[in-house]
């Protein structure tokens, strides 16, 4: 295998997995600008003007296709969707005209959900998006670095100085001008990199190392040593930057000739040289790979190693790094070149560099978001809330807190009845904490713990009380920070409008459609049945009785008794061993092949009324079955068929109610469709302007 699998020990602790980046090639035509689309009014619903931008945005959301504009789908598709969208806007306008936006239940629903929407939006804006932009900007570069590691706990018990003393000693020597590489060989606890003068052979980029180490790397120039040791949970790190380069992703293919028990190194080299000479004369690379490469996995793919490769993020498909000799050769080649044989621990490689391009950063965004939310989101969020609370004057009165704790059973929670009864009345008016110039007294806090469901189960010890206070203060700070989101961010205002419109639509549609569906329309059902009754027939069914016994001999004897004319029901009442069926004389009632194995058996054998089926193995015993009566399919009555066509009736009624409602709304709110504008926008997309 050509991939370096023995990743050194230190990499497991420091270097983070990067998300597989997906490379796609799309010919991206320039599209009409957002400003242009917003200026093109394609329809009017009452006083509301619908732009091409509005229509396209609604279309992309409705089909979950953010990459396909509606105006590239063809005129008929545009008009069909516009018809649906104007219907939606008619209903929403109807809801507003009825004053539902002032309905207390609607207002409560909107306010309750605003905070959920605001939380996701706000943290994306102030934390996630800036972090991703920072990642992407930093990912334009990649670094080759060296480290000196001093572990917190030495692996060697013979150490004569403590880790901190060793860190100070190395710091002094670096300041005195001693070489980083020699110090790494002498002192580093990571012996593998230490033997290389501290060098980590694989490059790194943003998101691949812990944040403190990343910050140190990116603030250090090529050939420089970061001036301070960096402390992590794993130990202390000294960092040197050996190289800084623009990130390039490559697509190498290779042909591998291994050295093995049947092939000496000299023979391997001769074969590789021979194949290289054939390639220089114009031989087909993929054909030679398929016929000669000892890497059978990649040979079937023309020598493909697993997609694109980056020195700092690894192979596209596996994220694994290539061995140093192979990687160095690749990054000293030009696109389209074929290398001379390159020797690694796996043998001799002939490398063809199929492609070398700048990273497609858009393909890395989702992976970086996942990485950020896993590693940094929570601490960054906590830091943000602490800074907000400080800005809003947050303060806990510790003296009052400890005074209150003296009167609480700190082993209990607020689930205890009258947990607060021992707190003296003269303490109730003392301020426990304040934020945004609002003081919360002990009396206020008692009320919060008694009435706020989110506080249920709060511990009455110091940690529990502080946690409850922080929770309420965080909420107050968040509400203050997000109170003007609609003004500050037009996209959040649009998001809230969409949500509000959805609530309004649900309210008005319930009245005009769904509530009316609860009333049965017998006339419509009868008319539908009369026009379609030839479609509805009863299933082939059987009235069946069974005698079940465990032994085959018993079953055969029972069958002979029944065949000789003995009453089957009487035999079943005495002999069947199926629980609960002696009292039923073995009768299963009327059953169909869809729900009963005996009916299925009867159908397979094409039996008639009165026939007795010979014993057959069933479950863990044997069954003898009598067909009391066969019911052949017949046309269903209205009552019998009603359950089958009820969903269709509901669908017809819903469609009729919607059509009737929209017809009324079209008169109430004038609808205008501007077909010339639509044609112009479609043509703009066609021309790629």
Q: Are residues 214 and 202 located together in one domain of the fold?
A: yes
Could you say which of 246, 270, 299 is where a domain stops? 246
Q: Are residues 226 and 264 located together in one domain of the fold?
A: no
Could you say which of 208, 223, 246 is where a domain stops? 246
Q: Are residues 239 and 256 located together in one domain of the fold?
A: no
81 close to 65: Cβ distance less than 8 angstroms:
no
Q: Are residues 154 and 242 located together in one domain of the fold?
A: yes
Residue 159 has pLDDT above 70, yes or no: yes
**Residue 5 falls within a domain, yes or no?**
no
**Residue 656 falls within a domain, yes or no?**
no
Terminal-to-terminal C-alpha distance of the chain: 50
Query: Is 115 strand, coil or helix?
Result: helix
Q: Are residues 213 and 235 located together in one domain of the fold?
A: yes
> Residue 424 burial (CB < 10 Å; 0-12/13-18/19+)?
exposed
Q: Are residues 404 and 474 located together in one domain of the fold?
A: yes
**Residue 108 falls within a domain, yes or no?**
no
Q: Are residues 281 and 296 located together in one domain of the fold?
A: yes
Q: What is the DSSP string of 357-391?
A: E---GGGGHHHHHHHHHHHTHHHHHHHHHHHHHHH
Mean pLDDT confidence for 594-608: 94
**Residue 7 falls within a domain, yes or no?**
no
Mean pLDDT confidence for 556-570: 96
Q: Are residues 263 and 192 located together in one domain of the fold?
A: no
Could you say which of 203, 227, 246 is where a domain stops? 246
Q: Are residues 337 and 394 located together in one domain of the fold?
A: no
**Residue 370 falls within a domain, yes or no?**
no
Residue 331 has pLDDT above 60, yes or no: yes
Q: Are residues 566 and 608 located together in one domain of the fold?
A: yes
pLDDT in tens, 203-236: 999 999 999 999 999 999 999 999 999 999 999 9
Mean pLDDT confidence for 421-427: 96
CB-based contacts of 632, cutoff 8 Å, min separation 6:
540
Q: Are residues 195 and 241 located together in one domain of the fold?
A: yes
360 close to 139: Cβ distance less than 8 angstroms:
no
Count other C-beta atoms under 10 Å from residue 669's C-beta. 18
pLDDT in tens, 439-452: 999 999 999 999 99
* pTM greater than 0.75 (yes/no): no
3-state secondary structure 182-205: HHHHHHCCCHHHHHCCCECCCCEC
Residue 29 has pLDDT above 60, yes or no: no
For residue 158, what pLDDT band results from cuts at 50, 70 and 90? confident
C-alpha 346/C-alpha 357 separation (Å) is 27
For residue 8, what pLDDT band results from cuts at 50, 70 and 90? very low
Number of domains, the chain:
4
**Residue 157 falls within a domain, yes or no?**
yes
514 close to 602: Cβ distance less than 8 angstroms:
no
> Residue 422 burial (CB < 10 Å; 0-12/13-18/19+)?
exposed
Higher pLDDT, residue 513 or 27 = 513
CATH number of the domain where residue 336 is located: 3.10.50.40
**Residue 38 falls within a domain, yes or no?**
no
**Residue 562 falls within a domain, yes or no?**
yes
Q: Are residues 443 and 405 located together in one domain of the fold?
A: yes
Domain extent at residue 147: 140-246
Torsion of CA 115, 117, 120, 123, to 10 degrees: -60
């Amino acid at each position: 295998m050509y991939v370096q699998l023995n990743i050194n020990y230190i990499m497991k602790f420091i270097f983070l997995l990067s998300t597989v980046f997906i490379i796609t090639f799309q010919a991206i035509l320039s599209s009409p600008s957002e400003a242009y689309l917003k200026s093109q009014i394609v329809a009017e619903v009452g006083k509301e003007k619908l732009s091409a931008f509005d229509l396209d945005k609604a279309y992309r959301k409705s089909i979950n296709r953010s990459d396909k504009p509606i105006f590239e789908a063809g005129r008929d598709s545009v008009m069909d969707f516009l018809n649906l969208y104007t219907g939606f806007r008619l209903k929403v306008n109807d809801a507003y005209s009825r004053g539902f936006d002032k309905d207390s239940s609607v207002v409560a629903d909107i306010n309750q959900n605003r905070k959920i929407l605001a939380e996701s939006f706000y943290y994306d804006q102030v934390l996630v998006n800036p972090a991703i932009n920072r990642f992407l900007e930093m990912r334009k570069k990649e670094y080759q670095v060296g480290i000196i590691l001093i572990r917190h706990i030495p692996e060697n018990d013979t150490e004569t100085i403590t880790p901190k003393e060793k860190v100070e000693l190395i710091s002094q020597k670096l300041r005195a001008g001693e070489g980083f590489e020699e110090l790494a060989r002498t002192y580093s606890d990571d012996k593998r990199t230490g033997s290389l003068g501290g060098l980590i052979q694989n490059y790194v980029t943003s998101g691949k190392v812990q944040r403190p180490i990343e910050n140190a790397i990116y603030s250090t120039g090529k050939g420089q040593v970061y001036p301070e040791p960096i402390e992590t949970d794993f130990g202390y790190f000294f960092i040197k930057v050996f190289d800084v380069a623009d990130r390039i992703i490559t697509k190498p293919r290779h042909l591998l000739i291994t050295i093995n028990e049947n092939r000496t190194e000299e023979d391997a080299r001769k074969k590789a040289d021979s194949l290289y000479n054939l390639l220089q004369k114009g031989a087909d690379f993929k054909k030679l790979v398929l016929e000669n490469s000892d890497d059978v996995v990649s040979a079937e793919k023309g020598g493909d190693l697993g997609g694109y490769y980056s020195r700092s993020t690894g192979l596209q498909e596996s994220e694994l790094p290539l061995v140093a000799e192979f990687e160095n050769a690749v990054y000293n080649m030009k696109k389209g070149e074929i290398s001379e044989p390159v020797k690694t621990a796996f043998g001799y490689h002939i490398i063809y560099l199929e492609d070398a391009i700048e990273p497609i950063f858009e393909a890395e965004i989702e992976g970086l978001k996942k990485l950020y939310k896993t590693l940094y989101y929570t601490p960054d969020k906590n830091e943000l809330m602490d800074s907000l609370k400080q800005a809003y004057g947050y303060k806990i009165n510790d003296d009052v807190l400890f005074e209150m704790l003296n009167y609480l059973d700190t082993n209990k929670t607020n689930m205890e009845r009258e947990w607060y009864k021992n707190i003296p009345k003269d303490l109730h008016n003392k301020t426990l904490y304040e934020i945004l110039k609002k003081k919360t007294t002990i009396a206020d806090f008692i009320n919060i713990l008694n009435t706020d469901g989110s506080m249920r189960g709060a511990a009455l010890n110091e940690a529990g009380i502080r946690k409850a206070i922080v929770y309420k203060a965080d909420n107050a700070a968040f509400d203050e920070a997000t109170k003007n989101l609609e003004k500050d961010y037009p996209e959040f205002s649009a998001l809230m409008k969409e949500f509000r419109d959805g609530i309004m639509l649900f309210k008005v549609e319930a009245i005009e459609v769904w509530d009316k569906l609860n009333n049965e329309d017998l006339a419509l059902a009868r008319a539908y049945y009369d026009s379609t009754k030839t479609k509805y027939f009863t299933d082939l069914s059987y009235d069946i009785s069974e005698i079940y016994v465990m032994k085959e001999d018993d079953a055969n004897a029972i069958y002979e008794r029944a065949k000789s004319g003995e009453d089957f029901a009487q035999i079943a009442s005495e002999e069947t061993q199926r629980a609960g069926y002696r009292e039923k004389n073995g009768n299963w009632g009327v059953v169909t092949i869809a729900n009963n194995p005996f009916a299925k058996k009867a159908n397979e054998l094409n039996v008639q009324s009165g026939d007795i089926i010979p014993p057959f193995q069933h479950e863990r015993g044997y069954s003898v079955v009598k067909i009391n009566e066969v019911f052949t399919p017949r046309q269903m009555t209205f009552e019998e068929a009603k359950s089958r066509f009820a969903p269709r009736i509901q669908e017809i009624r819903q469609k009729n109610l919607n059509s009737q409602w929209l017809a009324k709304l079209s008169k109430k709110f004038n609808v205008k469709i501007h077909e010339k504008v639509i044609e112009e926008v479609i043509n703009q997309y066609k021309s790629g302007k």
